[in-house]
């Protein structure tokens, strides 16, 4: 298996490890979870760079690389739902859209049909990841006993539930809209996919 694909597998393996450390009570467990998430995210950048630089492009990688990204973000989103920090139904809407589009792209690649990723979709992913980084960094920092007490007003402001909910609404709307636009612009590909099924 090529190194980029190995990194993709590693990212999928690291996702449940991240979730475990993030949700289980223990000294510095959440800090460890944050590091694991950052390492997993870095593997995404690195395996993409390797694949482009050395032309390590495989059908397996075309499907599983974006799927591994969705698994990682799903682990983070659902962890925050479990902790009561995010609305479950908005997160479900986001995840359904992402997994559906990724699955369609995987089926298309398996049939020799290329689905280009739009700049809009890339910005959507960038905003999602930026939101998760923000939530993880501030949430983990708030768990620090000294910081959580000494800088409580900062964390109350940074993790204001109303502001977080509004931001998640915006992300959900962007995610659904980009998905709908993506399917509309590639409807001719979808006809080919189901026509050959």
Q: Which pLDDT score is estimated for 1?
A: 62
* Residue 150 confidence (pLDDT): 79
- What range defines the domain where residue 53 resides? 3-196
Q: Along the 197 residues of the chain, how does pLDDT read in single tens digits?
A: 677 788 889 999 999 999 999 999 887 899 999 999 999 988 888 877 777 777 767 777 778 888 999 999 999 999 999 999 999 999 999 999 999 988 888 777 777 777 767 788 889 989 999 999 999 999 998 887 677 677 788 888 888 999 999 999 999 999 999 988 888 887 777 777 666 54
* Residue 196: per-residue pLDDT: 53
**pLDDT of amino acid 142:** 86
Q: How many domains does the chain have?
A: 1
DSSP of the chain: --HHHHHHHHHHHHHHHHHHHHHS--TTHHHHHHHHHHHHHHHHHHHHHHHHHHT---HHHHHHHHHHHHHHHHHHHHHHHHTTSS-HHHHHHHHHHHHHHHHHHHHHHHTT---PPPHHHHHHHHHHHHHHHHHHHHHHHHHSHHHHHHTHHHHHHHT-HHHHHHHHHHHHHHHHHHHHHHHHHTHHHHHHHHHH-
Q: What is the pLDDT of residue 169?
A: 97
- Kindly report whether the global pTM for this prediction surpasses the value 0.95: no
Read off the CATH number of the domain in which 105 is found. 1.20.120.1760
């Amino acid at each position: 298996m090529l190194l980029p694909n190995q990194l993709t597998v590693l990212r999928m393996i690291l996702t449940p490890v991240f979730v475990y450390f993030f949700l289980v009570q223990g000294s510095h467990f959440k800090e460890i979870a944050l590091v694991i998430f950052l390492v997993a995210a870095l593997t995404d950048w690195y395996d993409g760079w390797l694949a482009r630089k050395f032309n390590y492009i495989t059908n397996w990688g075309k499907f599983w690389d974006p799927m591994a990204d969705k698994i990682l973000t799903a682990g983070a989103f659902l962890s925050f739902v479990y902790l009561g920090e995010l609305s479950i139904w908005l997160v479900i809407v986001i995840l359904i859209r992402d997994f559906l589009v990724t699955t369609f792209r995987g089926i298309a690649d398996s049939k020799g049909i290329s689905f280009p990723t739009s700049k809009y979709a890339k910005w959507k992913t960038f905003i999602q990841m930026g939101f998760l980084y923000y939530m993880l960094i501030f949430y983990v920092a708030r768990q620090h006993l000294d910081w959580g007490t000494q800088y409580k007003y900062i964390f109350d402001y940074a993790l204001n539930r109303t502001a977080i909910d509004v931001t998640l609404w915006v992300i959900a709307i962007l995610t659904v809209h980009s998905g709908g636009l993506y399917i509309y612009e590639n409807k001719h590909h979808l006809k080919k996919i189901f026509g050959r099924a």
